[in-house]
Chains A and B, each alone.
Chain A
Amino acid sequence: NSIIGENYRWPHTIPYVLEDSLEINAKGVILNAFERYRLKTCIDFKPWTGEANYISVIKGSGCWSSVGNRHVGRQELSIGANCDRIATVQHEFLHALGFWHEQSRSDRDDYVSIVWDRIQSGREHNFNTYSDQLSDSLNVPYDYTSVMHYSKTAFQNGTEPTIVTRISDFEDVIGQRMDFSDYDLLKLNRLYNCSSSLSFMDSCNFELENVCGMIQSSGDSADWQRVSQIPSGPDSDHSNMGQCEGSGFFMHFNSSSVNVGATAVLESRVLYPKRGFQCLQFYVYNSGSESDQLNIYIREYSADSVNSSLTLVEEIKGIPSGNWQLYYVTLKVTNKFRVVFEGRRGSGASLGGLSIDDINLSETQCPHHVWHIRNFTQFIESPNATLYSPPFYSSKGYAFQIHLDLSQLTNVGIYFHLISGANDDQLQWPCPWQQATMTLLDQNPDIRQRMSNQRSITTDPFMTTDNGNYFWDRPSKVGEVALFPNGTEFRRNRGYGTSAFITHERLKSRDFIKGNDVFILLTVEDISHLNSTQVQPIPSMPTTASVEDLCSQIRCENDGICAVRDDKAECRCQAGEDWWYMGERCEKRGSTRDTIVIAASSTAAVFAAMLIVTLVSVYCTKKKYRKRTSSKTEAVTLENKNVY
């Protein structure tokens, strides 16, 4: 729920500084968190260039932030040790954007019950609520899945939960730290009046008959058809996996009905890039020939918008058959364009064709590699399950492997291993500042609704092991012998990662496992440039010409000098040990002696005035008492006469 008050809002593009104190891994994680804001909201971030207010991200003690824009100039937000998780960064920045925790909503007691005697002594105030005069829930229901919700064990004094959800299904849902929930985004976008985002371009699951504005080409031999199932496969779409009767569609190119070399072309609507780099992702099912292929083109329009050029970007061949495959295609388009999907009949027998579904296009970086784990449920049901990925190469040439540990009772672990590779002789050892980002993909058809789980680690070339070796040294030097499934021997370094990647319960939720498939997205990139200081803005200095123009309009007296400050000419006046000139044109003189004289005479004047007031008061009071005394004496005399 948000803090009420327009003054607490940041501009849509928030200036930031990543301070030198931050760990290098944290810097990379923070930049990844910014990308999530750019994809799903209208909030953007830019390096500070001198704006009045900005967020300074520091490595303080712990993870914390202020709520809202406090207009203090440099506003700190701390990502300390162990806070370098993407959802933690997203959480703290949501505070900065003006959000309190979800369970502090005014209506929270309708949805959760706080167990007060299980809360640590002195921490009860952390469970206060805000009235609806102070906080606004933006007309959105209570959100158990919010990234801003406490977990059930928050501030517990023992082992029992401090927060119990009134709907028991959400008992272990609260406290998720994977990504923004749908309602988090709804509230943020309402608070900041977002109508679009910087990075999102298009998403299509083919559920509507207009097929997202995609058009069939006329220069091909066949058409793509919108269908819900194909006898030779797939028997359902990828979006719904056949769970919704009467819905669930995808596009299919029937290669069995055309000759070898025949094509079917499907083009997207016209798209307008903002950032100049894009990631296209989609699912493909092959039920045709082994040599059927899917070609991806870009039709880019020139400035006059009449002519276009068609460029082949990717040929997808040898598509495995039998289940949906996920593909990523990197694009670098700067002018308005269409994405073109061309299905091409290959040689060999075909009983079906190519199907595509769940297309997403965004101006983000594609992952470098995808680890597709088939028949995943057999692994989570078997004890002591440990999975190793195929070997991959990073963009710098380092060979690596990912290790997924499913053997623990509650949590799933994930680790990054350097392994011996073909380029090792040419590489720098120990491996310096390569950040490995491992993402468990939430396979929601719409990229904006995915709550993927992500962790990052960075290789530190100075890190040593107990026996004095460098942790990230060459695998042939410090690694252990291991075998690939085909029996090939290689060296594997010690793994570096976390035993708490995700809980088994969350892994089975949402669409992490879809069609018995799991996808782990991998990116390993050089972040050594983040070791250097972020360039600080230089205050803008007026040019010589502009100084002369402004100073020609003012004449300083008594040897005063004209200077320009904040685009305004002003006189800097002469001053000595006990004297000075002042005034707009240095026309007045002041001195310490004058100050003493003024102070002394003021004191004397006040004293004299108070003395006069005192004397007058005494005189008047005396007079009053004299009158009273004489009237009392007469009364006594009269009384005496009366008695006698």
Chain B
Amino acid sequence: TPDNFVKDIDGGIDRDIFDINEDLGLDLFEGDIRLDGVQVR
């Protein structure tokens, strides 16, 4: 079978949680923590 006969869901890149969030333009606290209003204040 051809070498490229696969569909790679990760597109050849091993992305961690923080890479995914950064690529989406999120600026979450410590990369993946959502703060509530009290914590933001």
Contact = CB atoms under 8 A, between A and B. Distances in A.
A126 B7 contact: no
B7 A62 contact: no
A101 interface: yes
Interface stretch (A41-49, A260-268, A355-363, A494-502): A494-502
A100 interface: yes
A405 B13 CA distance: 15
A457 interface: yes
Interface in A403-420: 403, 405, 410-411, 413, 415
Interface residues of A, number: 51
Contact of B33 (A95, A415, A492): A95
A92 interface: yes
B30 to A, nearest CB: 5
Given A413-B8, A495-B7, A65 B32 contact: yes
Interface stretch (A148-156, A241-249, A330-338, A592-600): A148-156
Contact of A497 (B1, B6, B35): B6
A547 to B, nearest CB: 38
Interface string B4-36: 011111101111111011101011111111111
Contacts of B9: 82, 457, 496-498
A78, A122, A498: residue with the most chain B Cβ atoms closer than 10 Å = A498
A61 B31 contact: no
Contacts of A95: 32-33
Interface string A86-129: 00100110010000110010000000000000000010011000
Contact of A482 (B1, B6, B26): B1
Contacts of A62: 17, 20-21, 24, 26, 28, 32
B18 A177 contact: no
Contacts of B27: 122
B contact residues, range: 20 to 34
Given A66-B33, A104-B30, A495 B5 contact: yes
Tell me the dominant secondary structure on chain A's binding face: mixed
A100 B15 contact: no
Contacts of B15: 82, 500
A161 interface: no
B4 to A, nearest CB: 9
Contacts of B6: 403, 405, 413, 415, 494-497
Interface in A39-93: 61-67, 70, 72, 76, 78, 80-83, 88, 91-92
Contacts of B22: 155
A92 B10 CA distance: 20
Contacts of B31: 126, 150, 154-155
A123 B14 CA distance: 21
Contacts of A391: none
A100 B32 CA distance: 10
A581 interface: no
A177, A496, A499: residue with the most chain B Cβ atoms closer than 10 Å = A499
Nearest to A126: B30
Contacts of B5: 480, 494-495
A3 to B, nearest CB: 11
A573 to B, nearest CB: 36
A61 B5 CA distance: 30
Contact of A63 (B14, B29, B32): B32
Given A70-B36, A154-B18, A100 B26 contact: no
Interface in A357-394: none
Contacts of B18: 150-151, 154-155
Interface of B: 1-2, 5-10, 12-18, 20-22, 24, 26-36
25 contacts: A62-B20, A64-B28, A65-B33, A66-B33, A66-B36, A67-B33, A76-B34, A82-B10, A82-B15, A82-B20, A91-B32, A92-B17, A92-B32, A150-B31, A155-B18, A410-B14, A411-B14, A413-B6, A457-B9, A471-B7, A480-B2, A494-B6, A495-B6, A496-B6, A500-B15
- Which 7 A-B pairs have CB atoms at the shortest separation, nearest pair first? A500-B14, A495-B6, A62-B21, A64-B32, A498-B10, A499-B8, A500-B10
Interface of A: 61-67, 70, 72, 76, 78, 80-83, 88, 91-92, 95, 100-101, 104, 122, 125-126, 150-151, 153-155, 175, 177, 403, 405, 410-411, 413, 415, 457, 471, 480, 482, 492, 494-500, 503
